Amino acid sequence: MPRLLAVAAALAACAGPTLVLAADAKPADTVRNVCSKCHGPGGSGGSGLFPRLAGQQSAYLERQLKSFRGHDRADDHARSYMWGVARPLNDAQIHGLAVYLSSRPAVKGTPSAAPDLAARGKALFEKGVADRQIPACIDCHGATAGGVEEIPRLAGQHRDYLYRQITQFRGLLRRNEIMHDNTKNVSDEEALALAEYLSSL
């Protein structure tokens, strides 16, 4: 019995904070009062621990919020933060938040302090590595890495966040069959190069 109680307590701790949201809360107010605590003002980005949401694809944001709410996305940050935040959101609120955040100006990347690394990342993004079955990211994320519909914008995203997502996809810590296949042969150095390049756009 003590073991079961300990497991239950651990699961509850993983659920993260619960968002208390009025039924008529406006998306801008929710972003300002809740989302900005981790994602920065207007979703423009705080620390590299959490992604920039401003200017992100609306369909991608909507899908992710529904995945958090349904516990379909179960990486460590999802469990620790977003499960609890997304739990009380209904479909209309999720749609409103996604549309609002996607309408915010996207953050321009910061110039790379490692231009050689960024150049390698650019080559990987544009061409991939055919003989190691690493596809070109540009094929799905677009020439400017702006994404389309449910494929996310990568341009201007935090370096640390990008690197962590690539390695989590690769290691199946963040489940996505397509992204696992695309990243399974990417080395740590290549992941750093991609993050360096994309964060500078």
DSSP count for the chain of H helices, then E strands: 12, 0
Query: In tens digits, what is the pLDDT along the chain, a chain of 201 residues?
Result: 444 334 333 333 334 444 555 556 788 888 988 899 999 999 999 888 999 999 999 999 999 999 999 999 989 989 999 999 999 999 999 999 999 999 999 999 999 999 999 999 999 999 999 999 999 999 999 999 999 999 999 999 999 999 999 999 999 999 999 999 999 999 999 999 999 999 999
In a domain, 134, yes or no: yes
Maximum Cα–Cα distance across the chain: 57
The per-residue pLDDT for 72 is 95
Does the predicted model carry a pTM greater than 0.85? yes
Question: What per-residue confidence (pLDDT) applies to 116?
Answer: 98
pLDDT score, position 30:
87
| 54 within some domain | yes
Quick one: pLDDT at residue 2?
45
86 in a structural domain: yes
For position 124, what pLDDT does the model report?
98
Q: Which pLDDT does position 40 carry in this prediction?
A: 95
- Give the C-alpha separation, 15 to 36, whole Å: 19
User: Is 133 part of a structural domain of the chain?
Assistant: yes
Question: Could you tell me if 35 and 58 lie in one domain?
Answer: yes
Range of the domain at 191: 115-199
Residue that finishes a domain, picked among 45, 71, 103:
103
Task: State which of 69, 103, 137 marks the end of a domain.
Answer: 103
What DSSP string describes 178-199? HHHHHHTT--HHHHHHHHHHHH
CATH code assigned at 162: 1.10.760.10
Of the residues 64, 81, 103, the one at which a domain ends: 103
Nearest alpha-carbon partner for 156 in 196, 98, 96: 196
Tokens found for residue 43: 């979703």
Please check whether residue 50 lies inside any domain of the structure. Answer: yes
Count of Cβ atoms closer than 10 Å to residue 115 Cβ:
12
How many domains is the chain built from?
A: 2
Using CA atoms, how far apart are residues 90 and 69, in angstroms rounded to an integer? 9
**Is 13 a domain residue?**
no
Torsion of CA 76, 146, 60, 75, to 10 degrees: -10
